[in-house]
Amino acid sequence: MWGLLPLALLQSALLTLGQVTLKISLQQMGTFSWTWRFFAGAFTNLWFAVCGICFGASSLLWMYIVRHYPLNMAYPMISLSYVMGMLAAVLIFHEHVPIVRWIGLALIMTGVVLIVQKG
């Protein structure tokens, strides 16, 4: 099932890029409110549009993955997005990540390797 890994990496990257661009767009829009002005700003924000495209592409790829691979292998691969999300938090948003979370990340990566090898 090594064919699943590149697809899962791409799907997770798209999902992570969607989250990153969502955060960037929300930072640009200011305080959230249930007003027409806020949502007009959201739907005219380029980063928000990129976010939607990434989530849409990620969903389409996920549909392909679920159709062609066993769910018990495919679903745990989504955890790769946790790894990419934490790396994005550090590299893009300059967030501090405690050592305990890095250990958790290593455990996630170990699990992904085990899942792919047992397929």
pTM of the model: 0.85
Where do we find the tokens 């849409």?
Answer: 56
Query: Who's near 51: CB < 8 A, 6+ residues apart?
Result: 18, 19, 21, 22, 25
pLDDT in tens, 46-84: 999 999 999 999 999 999 999 999 998 888 888 889 999
pLDDT in tens, 80-96: 899 999 999 999 999 99
Q: Which helix (H) or strand (E) holds 96?
A: none
Residue 58's domain spans which residues? 3-116
Overall number of domains in the chain:
1
**Cβ(112)–Cβ(80) below 8 Å:** yes
